[in-house]
Amino acid sequence: MIKRVFPIFLFLFFCHSQQMLAETTDDILKAKMALYKKTEAVTQVPWYYLAAINQYEKNIQKNADTEKLVFITIPEEQWFGIANPSKNTNSNIIGLFEGIGKDGNGDQQADPTDDEDVLYSMANLIAKQGTSKQDIKIALWDYYQRALTVQSISQIAKVYQTFETINLLDSDFPIPLHHNYSYRNTWGDARGFGGRRIHEGTDIFANYGTPVKATRYGVVEIMGWNRFGGWRIGIRDIYSNYHYYAHLNGFSDDLKVGDVVKPGDVIASVGATGYGPPGTSGKFPPHLHYGMYKDNGYSEWSFDPYPYLRRWEKEARK
């Protein structure tokens, strides 16, 4: 009896926990959005910039706790003020030492572990510069002192602003499933097309002209000719991953640098361009070279896209 009941029980438990997980994710997104909107109301800093800063800081953290709301980490000497000897969270004292820690929840404490205080402090820091797009860029540069960070945050903000939500969890496989294509794990192969010294990516073989799609929400960062990559597109997604599409036949009409894309948007078509001056084509069979690069806040490195491609392909089949 137990043997028969147990699998059913397990199955029900599994369904239940999957549903719980979806509900939890939804609740967290709602709670985050409420916090962004509330902070926007008191600081005039657009919610999508606050959301983008928070998302970027989450992206660069190792093993970020997905149930947390705020991931922004303000260094202690900046929070409390450089000359402040104490770690007293009294917001008046922090103010005296010109610390940037502020009280966002009205308890007179500027607590660096309190979500509302942290988000409000960041918003306040930005608002001091101004709330126009250009002002925010300057404030971000002053704080982060890193071009890629400022650019990434601006890109994420643009995506959130475009779709008016932070609930952007979908993905897609870059090739429509009803077209003929094939790929295998070629990560690190000595010979590949369009890689560097080792093969940094996955080659998806398909016919000339097969549509190529965006896989995640992001912004077109680079478009044009590259000696090895041929006609190529680089898209940076909202998780601080850079997606590199190479050897393309051509780009979709009207697509340009700075455009926001969503999973499934056709951005280009498969070709065999590269390994020569602009226009060189046919030196190898047509395929899409797909590369992925991750920014950790200090540097960017390539990682194996193959497991992602497999997952996106599986999900696209559903």
Binding site for Zn ion (CB under 5 A): 192-194, 201, 203, 289
Pick 46 or 274: Cβ nearer Zn ion: 274
Pick 163 or 275: Cβ nearer Zn ion: 275
DSSP per-residue codes, 192-218:
-SS-SSS--SEEEEE-TT-EEE--SSE
Count CB-CB contacts under 10 A for residue 57: 21
Least CB distance to Zn ion at residue 192 (A) = 4
Least CB distance to Zn ion at residue 183 (A) = 10
Least CB distance to Zn ion at residue 309 (A) = 12
Contact in structure between 259 and 223 (CB atoms under 8 Å): no
Least CB distance to Zn ion at residue 266 (A) = 21
Q: Return the SS3 of 126.
A: helix
Least CB distance to Zn ion at residue 201 (A) = 5
Q: Which residue is listed with tokens 């820091």?
A: 125
Contact in structure between 69 and 28 (CB atoms under 8 Å): yes
Pick 80 or 193: Cβ nearer Zn ion: 193
Torsion angles phi and psi, residue 90, rounded to 5: -60, 120
Count CB-CB contacts under 10 A for residue 16: 10
Least CB distance to Zn ion at residue 27 (A) = 41
Contact in structure between 72 and 57 (CB atoms under 8 Å): yes
What are the residues facing 237 on neighbouring strands? Answer: 218
Least CB distance to Zn ion at residue 292 (A) = 12
Residue of 246, 233, 306 lying closest to 272 (CA atoms): 246
Residue of 131, 197, 157, 204 lying closest to 50 (CA atoms): 157
Pick 72 or 198: Cβ nearer Zn ion: 198
Pick 99 or 230: Cβ nearer Zn ion: 230
Task: Give me the torsion for CA of 17, 18, 24, 28, rounded to 10°.
Answer: 150
What are the residues facing 224 on neighbouring strands? Answer: 232
Pick 36 or 242: Cβ nearer Zn ion: 242
Beta-carbon contacts of 182 under 8 Å, excluding residues fewer than 6 positions away, are 204, 205, 206
Pick 201 or 218: Cβ nearer Zn ion: 201
Closest CB to Zn ion: residue number: 289
DSSP per-residue codes, 34-56:
HHHHHHHHHH---HHHHHHHHHH
Least CB distance to Zn ion at residue 59 (A) = 25
Least CB distance to Zn ion at residue 239 (A) = 22
Pick 99 or 291: Cβ nearer Zn ion: 291
Task: Give me the torsion for CA of 44, 48, 50, 52, rounded to 10°.
Answer: -160
Pick 57 or 203: Cβ nearer Zn ion: 203
What element of type H or E holds 133?
A: helix 133-144
